[in-house]
Structure 1
Amino acid sequence: MRKISFLVGILAAFASCTVKEEVDVIYKNGNVYTVNDNFDKVQDFAVKDGKFIAVGGDISANYKATKVVDLKGKSVYPGFIDAHCHFYGLGLQLQKVDLVGTKSFQEVLDRIVAFQKKKNVPFITGRGWDQTKWEVKEFPTKEKLDSLFPNTPVAVRRIDGHAVLANQKALDLADITVKTKVDGGEVILKDGKPTGVLIDNAMDLVLAKVPEPTKREKIQALIDAEKICTDLGLTTVDDAGLDKEVIELIDSLQKAGTLHMKVYAMASATKENLNFYLKNGKVKTPKLNVRSFKYYADGALGSRGAALKESYSDKHNHFGTLLSSVEDFESTAKRIANSDFQMNTHAIGDSANYVVLKTYTDILGNKAKERRWRVEHAQVVSKVDLEFYKNIFPSVQPTHATSDMYWAEKRLGEERVKEAYAYKELLDAYGKIALGTDFPIERVSPFLTFYAATARKDLENFPENGFQTENALTREETLKGMTIWAAYSNFEENEKGSIEIGKSADFIILNQDIMTVEETKIPETKVEKTYIDGILLK
C-alpha cells in the first residue's frame, strides 16, 4: 500500500507540473504599452519565431527561454509606423546637397558651392530650401547660380518638393523658354524672362534630365535610409510613390536579408505602374506590401500650388492648380476601384480635397468605408466637406502644422486657416487617423510627430498656448495613429501595430515614457532598442 501511495503521489506531482513551452526570449519587468483594443499595459511578454507568443500574465509559469531580458521598468511600445514618407527619397537625398534649414538664399548658394567642391558631380541636385524661412520671403532667381555654375546644370527642389530652382544650363537642357507652358505647372517669369523657378509639373522637364542613379547608389540609399529610420524607432514605412523598378529592388534586398525595414509601397499612379499592377495583382511578403497607388491632386501651400476654392490671400486671383484634369483623376479612380487596390491621393487645398472626396464617394458608394481609400495630407478641408471623411481615411503629418503655422494665415486668411491642419476634426469624422512625417520634407523623428500632434508647438515652445489647439490629439490618439491605426490604414492591423499574441514582434524600447513625461521633453526621447520580427536592429 505504501508503494502504491508513493507512486500515486509521484504521478500526481507530475500531473500538477505544466510542461513549459520553449520560446526564444522572455522580456520581463517592463512598462509595456500593448495598444490593444483596451489599451492595456503589461510587464512581461515572450517572443518566438519573430512573433509575440505570450503577452502579460504569469509568463514564467508557462514558458521558458535560454534568454531572459530584464527591462527594469523601461517603456516598450509597438514599433512605430510612418504612414506617409519617402523612404527611398530620404536615402537618395543623403547623396545630394542638403539645403534644409537654410536661413537665406546666400546660405543656399554657399552650401551648393561647398557640396560641388567636395563631390564634383556632373548635375547638381538637392532639396530643402524654403523662402518662407528667409528674411526676403520671395522666390529666388537664378542669376547668381548662373554666374557660379555657367557650365554645370543645377536643379534644387524646395522643401515641399513642389518647386525647383534651376540655373540657365539646366533650363537649356530641358528646352525651357519664356514660351514654355505646362498643364498642372508653371514656369515663373519676371520681367518677361524665366526666373529659374518651376512649379509642380513644370519641374519634370528639368528633373527628367538628371542622370539616373546607379543600382549601387540605389541600394546604398535604401540601406542608409533604414539606419536612420530604425535608430528612431520606425519598423514600417509607407513610401508614398515608388516605381516598379525600385519596389522590386526593395523586395530583392529584403529577401536577401540586406534590408530589414518593412515597406508599405504606394506605387506611383503612372500609366506603366497602373497597367502592370492592375494586371498582375497585389504583392504581399512578410516585409513588403504593394496594394495601393499614390496620386497627386494638387501642389503645396508653401509654393502656392495647392488648389483652393477661393484665391490665395497673399496673391490675388491665384487659386493654385490641379495637377491633372478631373476627368483623368476620375478615370484612374474607376480603374483602381475595379481592383483590390487602395487609392491614396495627395490633396492639400480645399478645392483639391473636395474633388478627391467627392470622386471617391461617388465611385465607391456604400463600399467606401471598407475600401479604406486615403487622402494624404488632408491639409485644408472646408467645414462643409468634413462629412465626406466619415468614409474616407485621413492620413496626415502633424509637423506640417508646426512648420507652416508661421505663414499659413498669410496664404489662407484669418478664417480659412482655421479649417487647416484640423486633425481632431478629421479623427472625429472617421474614427481613426494615420500619422506620418512626409520625410525628408520634414525630419524623420516620430517624437517630433508626437510632440506636434499633442502640443501643436515648435521646439522653441512657440506659440506659448499652441497652434489651433482645438485640433490637438491626445497622447493615446497620437500613439494609436503611429501604430495600430497606421497599420489599419495599410490593411495590416492583424499582423502589426500592437503588442498582441500572433503579431510580428516589432517593438521598441525608449529611455522615457512618452505617455507621461513632461510635454516639453517629448522631442528629447531616445530609442534604446528597435526590434523587427524579434531581431535587434539598434
Structure 2
Amino acid sequence: MKKSLTVYLCLLTVLTISCNQTTEGPEIQADKIIFNGPIYTMDVKNPAVEAVAIKADTFLYVGSRDGVDAFLGDSTRIIDLNGQAMVPGLTEGHAHIMGVGYNLLNVDLREAKSYQEVVDMVAERAANTPEGTWITGRGWHQDKWTEKPEMTNGFPTHDLLSEAVPNHPVWLKHASGHAALGNAKAMEVAGISNQTSQPDGGEIFMSVSGEPTGIFNETAQGLVTKSIPDATKESDEQALKLALEQCFKYGITGFHQAGSGPDHINLYKEFAQRGDLKLRLYVMLNGRDEALLNEYFSNGIEEDLYDNQLTVRSVKLYADGALGSRGAWLLEEYTDAPGVHGHNVMPMDEIEAITANAYKAGFQVCVHAIGDRANREVLDIYERTFKLYPESASKEPRFRIEHAQHFHPDDIPRFAEMGVIPSMQAIHMSSDRPWAIDRLGQQRIEWGAYMWQTLLQSGARIVNGTDAPVEPITPLASFYASVSRKTLQGNPEGGYEPAEKMTREQALKSYTLDAAYAAFREDRKGSIETGKWADLTILDKNIMTIPEDQILETNVSMTIIGGEIVYEAE
C-alpha cells in the first residue's frame, strides 16, 4: 500500500481543475486519503462509500471518490486500497490483555494434540529453566486431543507430567482458565495432600484411592496459585507490549478488558500517558477487589483518558465456571455427569450487593455466566436492581452478561426487554460445539445454546470477541464462526444449528458498532462517519462477499487508530 505517484498526480490534477485552475491549497487539508476499494461504514444511512479523508484523529470526509479531492494537499498521504476491503476498526469485545501477552511468554499449549505433547512442551521448557523455578502454561483442552490418555473424571492425572518434570513445580491452566493441572512438585510446594479440605465453589479432583489427581477446578485453583511467585513489573510490561502488538497485527483497534486489578490499571495508565497504549482499552474492574471497587465507586468513572486511549467504567463478576470443566451452573444435571450441576463460584448475594452499588454509582456491570441457571440468576438480579433503584446514576446501565452461552428458552427474550447485552464469543461455539452436546444433550443444545440469531431477532445487541487467551485473538476466526456455525476445520457441512447463524452484516456489527455501544461510545467509534474517531481495519480480502471458506485465509493489511497507522503488513 505504498503511495502511488501516478495516483497522487491524477488526484492533484482533478483538484486543480475543480479549483478553477488556482494554485491555492484546500481550505482543510487531509492527513490521509483512502480510496479504491470497498469501504463498509456500518452507517445505515450510508453503508458503503468510495473514499474517506482523515484529519488528525477523526474522519474529515466520508463519501464519493470525487468529493474527497477537495481535501488533498501537498502533505496528504494517499492510501490506495487496490481493491482491498476496509471496515471500521474491529473491537475485541471480551478478552484478557495481560493473558494474551503472558501466553506468549509462558508455555502456550493451545496447539497440543495430546497429553504427551503437553508433557513434551513442558519438559523442553524445564530443560532450560533452573530447578525449583515454577513453569506455567495455558491452553490445553482434553476434549480437543486426538489421542487421549487414561483419565479420571474426564481429565488427565498428574502422573505422566510429574514423571517427566519432577524437579520443577508446574502449573498448567486449562484453555478455559477455569481448571488447572499441577504436577507433584507443585502440590508439594502448595501443601496439597489427601487431607486438604475442598473449597467452596470448586473442587480438588481425587482418584479412586483418595489421592489428588492434579486437577484443580474453579476456586480450588487458588490453593496452588497462592504459592506461585507474583509477576514482576518488568514481565508485566513485556506481556502488555506483546499483547498490543498482537492486537494491531489482527486489526483490533478497541479492546474490552475483562477484569483488572489496580496494578494492571496503573500499568495501562503508564503506557497511555507516554503514548504507547494507542489501543482504545475499555476496562472492567476486578469485582473481587473490594478496596478497588470502593475507590472507584466513590470517585466515579474514568472516561477517554490520555487522548481517548483508556476508559474505566465497568465491573467484572463471576456467577459460574466453564462448560468444558463442568463448572457452568445448570438448572438440570449434566448429561454426561449425573448429579453434577456445576458451580456457583461467587455467592449470588455478593453479586447482587456489588451490582446495586455499581448501578447507583453509574458503573456498568458485566457478569460471567455460561450455564442456564447462572444466566437466569444474573438476569433476576439485574431485574430486581432496576426496580429497586429507579433514580440511579446509571440512566442507561447497559448491563452485560459475559459469554451467555446457554439459556433456558424462557430467559432469551429478557435480554432485549431489559436492555441487557449478551457478550458472546462466537469462536467458543466453533471450538466447543463438537463436545458441548455431550455436556448438555441434543435438546438443550438446540433450544438454548449459542442462540445468536434468536437473540438478534428479539432485539438484543450482541458483542463478539474471542476470550483470548482462551482462544487465539484473531477476530476473523470469530467472524467465520459467526456466519458459518462450523469448526475452523469447516465441519459440519451447513454448520451446527444453522438457523442461529449471523449474517455477515450482523457479524461485522457485533465487532464494530454494537461493541462500541456496549462501551458507551457508539457516538465516537464503531462506524465510519464524519466526525468520528478514525479507527480502521484494512483486509486483503472482502469478507463481506468472498466464499465462506476463504474468510479464514484473509489477512489484515493495515490497522489505523485515531488516524495513526499502528500496523502495516509487509
| TM band (smaller chain) | over 0.9
Match of 2:248 among 216, 220, 230: 230
Whether the 8 Å CA contact 2:61–2:68 is kept in 1: the answer is: no
Q: 1:516 to 1:258 in 2, by over 3 A?
A: same
1:383 aligns with 2:409: yes
Q: What is the CA deviation profile of residues 263-310 of structure 1, one whole-angstrom value per residue up to 9, with x for unaligned ones?
A: 111111021321221122211211001000111110000000000000
Q: Does 1:288 align with 2:316?
A: no
Aligned counterpart, 1:4: none
Greater displacement, 305-314 / 256-265: 256-265
Match of 1:401 in 2: 429
Counterpart secondary structure, 2:177: coil
Q: For 1:456 and 1:295, how far apart are their aligned partners in 2?
A: 28
Against the structure 1 CA distance between its residues 385 and 280, is the aligned structure 2 distance closer, same or farther, given a 3 Å change threshold?
Answer: same
Match of 1:268 in 2: 286
Q: Quick one: distance in 2 between partners of 1:92 and 1:289?
A: 23
**Quick one: distance in 2 between partners of 1:60 and 1:153?**
61
Asked if 2 retains the 8 angstrom alpha-carbon contact of 1:183 and 1:324, the reply is: no
Alignment of 1:328 with 2:339, yes or no, is no
Partner of 2:339: 317
Structure 2 partner of 1:44: 51
AA at the equivalent of 1:27:
I
Q: Does 1:88 align with 2:98?
A: yes
1:8 is matched with which residue? none
- Asked if structure 1 preserves the Cα contact closer than 8 Å seen for 2:36 and 2:81, the reply is yes
Q: Which runs of 5+ in 1 are unaligned?
A: 1-11
Partners of 2:286 and 2:540 in 1: CA distance:
38
Contact 1:243 1:267 in 2 (8 A): yes
Map 1:204-243 → 2, pairs under 5 A: 204-243=222-261
1:30·1:71 contact (CA, 8 Å) conserved in 2?
yes
In 2, Cα distance between equivalents of 1:265 and 1:244: 11
Deviation at 1:501, TM superposition (A): 1.1
State the distance in 1 between where 2:236 and 2:563 align.
27
Cα distance in 2 for partners of 1:142, 1:85 equals 29
Secondary structure in 2 matching 1:338: helix
Task: Tell me the residue number matched to 1:426.
Answer: 455
1:196 aligns with 2:214: yes
State the SS of the aligned residue for 1:435. Answer: coil
TM-score by length of 2: 0.89
Q: 1:59 is matched by which residue type in structure 2?
A: G
The amino acid across from 2:367 in the alignment is T
Q: What residue in structure 1 maps to residue 114 of structure 2?
A: 104
Q: Indicate the residue corresponding to 1:306 in structure 2.
A: 328
Can you list the C-alpha shifts for 1:494-527, whole angstroms capped at 9, x where unaligned?
1111111111111021111100001100011011
Q: Which amino acid in 2 is paired with 1:62? A: A
* Residues 329, 170 of structure 1: alpha-carbon distance in 2 compared, 3 angstrom cutoff: same
Alpha-carbon distance in structure 2 between the residues aligned to 1:370 and 1:48:
32
Q: In the aligned structure 2, how far is the partner of 1:184 from the partner of 1:449?
A: 30
Query: C-alpha displacement at 1:21, in angstroms?
Result: 1.6
Show the counterpart of 2:34. 27
Q: Does 1:167 align with 2:183?
A: yes
Cα displacement (A) at 1:13: 8.0
Task: Give 1:125 deviation, angstroms.
Answer: 0.7
Aligned partners of 2:29, 2:42: CA distance in 1, in Å?
26
Contact kept, 8 Å, 1:82 with 1:436, in 2: the verdict is: yes
1:72 pairs with 2:82: yes
Distance in 2 between the 1:109 and 1:156 partners? 10
Amino acid at match of 2:380: K
1:175–1:272 CA distance, 2 compared to 1 (3 A) = farther
**Most deviating of 343-352 and 179-188:** 179-188
Alpha-carbon shift at residue 317 of structure 1 (Å): 0.5
More displaced stretch, 210-219 vs 130-139? 130-139
CA distance in 1 between counterparts of 2:450 and 2:423 reads 11
Secondary structure, in 3 states, of the residue corresponding to 1:44? strand
CA distance in 1, matches of 2:346, 2:399: 19
- 1:125 is the counterpart of 2:172: no
1:39 to partner: Cα distance? 5.3
Counterpart-to-counterpart distance in 1, 2:163 and 2:436: 34
Q: Distance in 2 between matches of 1:450 and 1:380?
A: 20
SS at match of 2:119: helix
User: Aligned partners of 1:28 and 1:149: how far apart in 2?
Assistant: 56
**Separation in 1 of the partners of 2:547 and 2:480?**
11
Displacement of 1:465 after TM fit? 1.6
In structure 1, C-alpha distance between the alignment counterparts of 2:219 and 2:227, rounded to whole Å:
14
- Range that drifts further, 196-205 or 165-174: 165-174
Matches within 5 A, 1:368-517: 370-390=396-416, 391=418, 392-418=420-446, 419-517=448-546
Given that 2:430 and 2:488 are in contact with CA atoms closer than 8 Å, whether structure 1 keeps it comes out as: no
Q: Contact between 1:394 and 1:430, CA under 8 Å: does it hold in 2?
A: no
Counterpart AA for 1:274: L
Give distance in 2, aligned partners of 1:400 and 1:411.
Answer: 14
Distance 2:482 2:130 in 1: 41
Name the aligned partner's letter for residue 58 of structure 2.
K
Residue by residue over 1:464-516, the C-alpha shift from the partner in whole angstroms, topping out at 9 and shown as x without a partner, is: 12011111100000000000000000101111111111111110211111000
Contact 1:386 1:426 in 2 (8 A): yes
Long gaps (5+) in structure 2: 1-18
Over aligned residues, Cα RMSD in angstroms?
A: 2.0
CA distance in 1 between counterparts of 2:114 and 2:91 reads 34
**SS of equivalent residue, structure 2 residue 442:** coil
CA displacement 1:67-122 (0-9 Å, x = unmatched): 23333332111110010011111101111111112122111111100122234471
Partner of 1:147 in structure 2? 163
CA contact (8 A) 1:20 1:64 kept: no
Tell me if the contact between 1:346 and 1:376 (Cα under 8 Å) persists in the aligned partners. yes
Counterparts of 2:26 and 2:327 in 1: how far apart (Å)? 65
Between 37-46 and 515-524, the greater mean CA deviation after superposition: 37-46
Conservation of the 8 A alpha-carbon contact between 1:376 and 1:394: yes
* Equivalent residue number for residue 185 of structure 1: 202
* Higher alpha-carbon deviation: 84-93 or 164-173: 164-173
Aligned twin of 1:7: none
More moved, 65-74 vs 209-218 = 65-74
Measured in 2, the distance between the counterparts of 1:173 and 1:109 equals 20
Contact 1:358 1:388 in 2 (8 A): no
Q: Which amino acid is the alignment partner of residue 35 of structure 1?
A: M
Bigger drift between 360-369 and 190-199 goes to 360-369
- C-alpha contact 2:26 2:72 (8 A) present in aligned 1: no
Q: What residue identity is the alignment partner of 1:104?
A: S
Q: Is this contact kept in 2: 1:495–1:503, CA < 8 A?
A: yes
State the shift of 1:453 in Å: 0.2
Structure 1 match to 2:4: none
How many residues are paired up?
Answer: 526
| 1:19-65 superposed Cα distances (whole Å, 9 cap, x missing partner) | 63222122233311111133511111111111111111443453232
User: Take 1:473 and 1:168, find their aligned partners in 2: how far apart are those partners?
Assistant: 46
Return the alpha-carbon distance in structure 2 between the equivalents of residues 503 and 109 of structure 1: 50
Q: Distance in 1 between matches of 2:315 and 2:157?
A: 35
